[in-house]
């Protein structure tokens, strides 16, 4: 079975309309280097290069999260900052209610199958 890392790279390549070979070439890697990641984990710097190339987080590539956006981008997003500030002032019950209202109003954005 292929690693989550490899599966995510394949998906990202497909979305961008490139091959694994093209990705390896763009990143200055040898042929079939990324294919070896099906069963093994590369060094952190290689994973970071791929994450930067696709503008996704390392955690996304490793399957630790389904959020693609790198934290540095999220932390600079005024909308995210405003939501976080509001969340900090709410009770846990109000946090749950607000998320339910957002999901109700914008359900399409929370669908699992895009």
Q: Average pLDDT by consecutive 10-residue portion of the chain (114 residues)?
A: 92 96 95 90 94 93 88 78 85 91 86 62
Q: In this predicted structure, what is the pLDDT of residue 74? A: 75
CA 83 to each of CA 65, 92, 100: distance values in angstroms, whole numbers, following the listed order: 20, 14, 14
Say if pTM beats, i.e. exceeds, 0.85.
no
DSSP 112: S
Domains assigned to the chain: 4-70 (1.10.260.40), 77-110 (no CATH)
Q: In this predicted structure, what is the pLDDT of residue 67? A: 84
* Tokens describing residue 16: 């961008």
Q: Helix (H, G, I), strand (E, B), or coil: what is residue 65?
A: coil
């Amino acid at each position: 079975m292929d690693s989550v890392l490899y599966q995510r790279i394949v998906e990202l390549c497909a979305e961008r309309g490139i091959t694994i070979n093209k990705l390896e070439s763009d990143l200055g890697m040898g042929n079939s280097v990324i294919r070896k990641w099906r069963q093994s984990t590369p060094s952190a710097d290689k994973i970071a290069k791929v994450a930067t190339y696709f503008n996704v987080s390392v955690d996304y590539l490793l399957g630790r999260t389904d959020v693609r956006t790198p934290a540095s981008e999220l932390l600079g997003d005024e909308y995210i900052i405003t939501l976080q500030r509001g969340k900090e002032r709410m009770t846990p019950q109000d946090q749950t209610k607000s998320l339910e209202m957002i999901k109700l109003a914008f359900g399409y954005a929370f669908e699992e199958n895009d």
